[in-house]
Structures are given as C-alpha cells and as structure tokens.
Amino acid sequence: MARPRTPLLSRERIVAAALRLIDEEGLDTLSTRRLATELSVSGPSLYNHFATKDELLDAVVDSVIGEVDLSMFAAVEGEAGAGGTRWPEALREWARSYRAALAAHPNIVPVLAQGPGRRPNALRLADAVFGHLVEAGWPRGQATRIGALMRYFVTGSALASFAAGFPADAEVYDAADYPHLGEAHRLAGHRGSVDEGAFETGLEALLDGLALRFARLPARP
C-alpha cells in the first residue's frame, strides 16, 4: 500500500487515541504498537509524526493542560497597582478548573507533574498565574512560591483518589495493627465525596492562609 493519497494519520488523531488508551488502560500499557493497531496502521507509521514516544506523550500532556480555564486571570480594569483583592477568587476558580482537567486523566498526571518543559500550554498557564499574582500585589518571589504550592496541591489531588487507595476488604484492617482504621474499608465506596471534600477543604484552607500573609505584606512603594 505504501503512501496513500490522503494521509491516514495526523498528530491530532494520534494524540486523541493515545489519551483514550492511557485513560482506559493506563500509562504503562500504552505501547506504540498497540496505539498503531488502534489507528489501523503499522507500528513504525507513528514515527512519521513524532520522533519518539516521549515526544508523543508531551503532546498528549499539553492537550490536557490546554483544557484548563485561564480566563479568570484576564486583566481587570483598574485593578493593577491598586492592591488587588480578587486574586483569591481567581486562584480558587483556576484551581478547580486545573484539578478537573487533570482528574479527568489521572494516568497522565505523573508525566505532566514533571513541569512545563517546552510545552506551550503549560508555559501559558505558568505565565498567567504568575502575572496575575504579581499584578495583584504579591512580591515576585512569593508569587513564584504560590504558583508552586498550588501545583503541588492540585497535581497531588489529581494523581490518585485518596479514598480508592484503601482496599474495600475489611479484613485488611486488623484492629491490633491499625486501631483507628476500622471504617477504612468504606472509604472506596464514598470515593467521590471524600476526594472532592478533601480538595475543597484544602483549597479553602490554603486561600485563607495565603490571605493572612497578603494582609501582612508591607505597603508597596
């Protein structure tokens, strides 16, 4: 068959199929051969569109980050220089969108958590958060730290379900060994509300703690 008149593949089609396989079967089970079969081509065909599997994974990761809403960081008329007070609301909305985008694809989070690298959507995200915080009145060093700690919290919460990490088998929790885990086998059954509640509690606690620090900032020149 060799080269068809109209290409069988495109980067977009490959990325979409790869993400679906990663979601459904895990990162470890994704192979270039399996992915090619899914796309009805032979294994080496993918190398016409991506130099390596890593480059393909990078594209998958950036497509996920592209789903994060950044519109809340758009400049607000008159806020710059006035000592912003809307940054907590913006961070809250962003963190929720960020977590939702990642939690929809938990198997890819370990790759994504390695940092932005040269991926455009990841760099755009870092730029938007940092820029907003600085314009709201945070010193640059503090703004960097807030960007970092928010990523720690969001990626940690999207990496895996806390509740689902506890086996539903009650026999695991021998009272002699783990005196306080007698109800832990019920956690997995309430997976959604436990993880959602933990995320919201942590997010609000973080924002409250940061607001305390913002109020203590020396007045700017």
Binding positions for a copy of itself, rule: CB under 8 A: 110, 113-118, 120, 123-124, 126-127, 130-131, 134, 140-142, 144-149, 151-157, 159-167, 172-173, 177-181, 183-184, 187, 194-195, 197-199, 201-202, 204-210, 212-213
Intra-chain end-to-end CA distance of the chain, in Å: 70
Distance in angstroms (rounded) separating the CA atoms of residues 115 and 190: 31
- Answer for the pair 214, 165: CB distance below 8 angstroms, yes or no: no
Contact region for DNA (CB under 7 A) — 42-50, 86-94, 126-134, 156-164?
42-50
Distance in angstroms (rounded) separating the CA atoms of residues 73 and 129: 7
The interface mask with DNA, positions 53-92, x = CB under 7 A, is: xx--------------------------------------
> Of the candidates 16, 45, 127, 200, which one interacts with DNA according to CB under 7 A?
45
Q: Which of these, 96, 109, 112, 67, lies nearest to 203 by C-alpha position?
A: 96
Q: Which of these, 121, 127, 132, lies nearest to 91 by C-alpha position?
A: 132
Closer residue to DNA (CB): 42 or 71: 42
Distance in angstroms (rounded) separating the CA atoms of residues 13 and 105: 17
- Amino acid, single-letter form, for residue 37: T
> Of the candidates 8, 75, 168, 211, which one interacts with DNA according to CB under 7 A?
8
> Of the candidates 11, 12, 24, 42, which one interacts with DNA according to CB under 7 A?
42
Residue 33 interacts with, from a copy of itself, DNA, none (CB under 5-8 Å by kind): DNA
